[in-house]
Amino acid sequence: MPKPVAIIGQVVLYGAFAAFIGYFSTAPTYKQIPDDVALVKLSMSHLGGRECRKRTAEELAKLPPNMRAPLECPRGRSDIKLLVELDDKPFYETVMHPTGLSKDGISTVYKRFELKAGSYKLTVKMNDNLVNPGWNHVKEEQVTLKPARVLVIDFNPDKGGLFFQQAKE
């Protein structure tokens, strides 16, 4: 038979523990970002280009019939250069390297920026084959960032390349 003092002690300690957990599950309130700030997430995965060359007729003739592919493409992929501009000023620049032992995998980037809510001219430029100079993918748009909302910058060839997507309200 447990002693009444032990039972009362357990009730008090369990009650204090429950009150502690209950208080800190609701207070103090936590805000991930301030009220007047919007979040921009740059999140993309993309395969860099390959520098293929066309084989000559002499090269093809020297190859066995089952190996006569007209193009010779190396296994490795190109780095991807990415530039984000905010109101025509460079904001973030990076070079994404391909993954894998043979550098033939996907290149990824994830970056998170907190910006004051407001209207901005957002430009994203990408070159996925560094053998060719310049930018082969460009997206420019006037965006309005609302407080505590998220804008995602991504790349999808099926959606026309670079695109911006704002979270639904």
| Residue 87 shares a structural domain with residue 45 | yes
Q: Look at residue 136 and tell me if it is in a domain.
A: yes
pLDDT of residue 114: 94
| Residue 42 shares a structural domain with residue 22 | no
- Percent of the chain exceeding pLDDT 90 equals 70
| Residue 80 shares a structural domain with residue 16 | no
The reported pTM is 0.75
Number of structural domains found in the chain: 2
pLDDT digits (tens, 9 = 90+) for 52-67: 889 999 999 999 999 8
| Residue 127 shares a structural domain with residue 107 | yes
> Does the pLDDT value for residue 50 go beyond 90?
no
Q: 121: which residues sit within 8 A by CB, 6+ positions away?
A: 85, 86, 87, 88, 140, 141, 142, 143
Residue 11, domain extent: 1-30
Separation of alpha carbons 146 and 52, rounded Å: 45
Q: Look at residue 68 and tell me if it is in a domain.
A: no
For residues 88 and 70, is the Cβ–Cβ distance under 8 A?
no
| Residue 16 shares a structural domain with residue 46 | no
| Residue 117 shares a structural domain with residue 159 | yes
Residue 117, domain CATH: 2.60.40
| Residue 8 shares a structural domain with residue 42 | no
Annotate 11-75 with DSSP letters as a single string: HHHHHHHHHHHHHHHH-S---SS-TTEEEEEEEEEEPPP---EEPPHHHHHHS-GGG--SEE--S
The residue written with tokens 């009730």 in the block is 11
| Residue 111 shares a structural domain with residue 146 | yes
| Residue 86 shares a structural domain with residue 22 | no
If pLDDT is split at 50, 70 and 90, which confidence band does 33 have?
Answer: confident
Compute the mean pLDDT over every residue in the chain, rounded to the nearest whole number: 91
pLDDT digits (tens, 9 = 90+) for 95-148: 999 999 999 999 999 999 999 999 999 999 999 988 888 999 999 999 999 998
| Residue 25 shares a structural domain with residue 43 | no
> Does the pLDDT value for residue 5 go beyond 60?
yes
